[in-house]
């Protein structure tokens, strides 16, 4: 079974609004990563948060991590139509080489 589960599965908002996506996972991790996938393309890395970090920012992205609840959230502020994509969390348990992905959240930002 997959490590990460994301919520909601789909999200539709207006341009300028904030979008929040949540990810829950099952086992202990070294770090958690978020990726973006535009329709028909490969995934692109957005941001990585280590298990000893609680919050991280990158431009309009804010990621939080709560290891006690085994959950993470991705906030995209002031969304744009170009943010329309699917977003995936992925967990890395350490030097195993494995990166396990969740099912993803499909975000639609309406102009």
Partner 1 sequence: NAGVTQTPKFQVLKTGQSMTLQCAQDMNHEYMSWYRQDPGMGLRLIHYSVGAGITDQGEVPNGYNVSRSTTEDFPLRLLSAAPSQTSVYFCASRRPGLATEQYFGPGTRLTVT
Report the C-alpha gap between 2 and 61 in whole angstroms.
Answer: 25
Is residue 26 within the footprint of partner 1 (CB under 8 A)?
Answer: no
Q: Which residues pair with 72 in a beta bridge?
A: 23, 65
Binding mask 59-98 for partner 1 (x = CB under 8 A): -----------------------------x-x-x-xxxxx
Residue 26 three-state SS: coil
Question: Binding-site residue total for partner 1 (CB under 8 A)?
Answer: 30
Residues near partner 1, by CB under 8 A? 1-2, 4, 6, 9, 30-31, 33, 35, 41-45, 48, 50, 88, 90, 92, 94-104
């Amino acid at each position: 079974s997959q490590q990460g589960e994301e919520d909601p599965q789909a999200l539709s908002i207006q341009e300028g609004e904030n979008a929040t996506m949540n990810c829950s996972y099952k086992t202990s991790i070294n770090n958690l990563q978020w990726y973006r996938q535009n329709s028909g393309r490969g995934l692109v890395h957005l941001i990585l948060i280590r298990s000893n970090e609680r919050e991280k920012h990158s431009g309009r992205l804010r990621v939080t991590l709560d290891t006690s609840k085994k959950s993470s959230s991705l906030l995209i502020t002031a969304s744009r139509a170009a943010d329309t994509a699917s977003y995936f969390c992925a967990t890395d348990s350490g030097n195993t080489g494995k990166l396990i992905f969740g099912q993803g959240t499909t975000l639609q930002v309406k102009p």
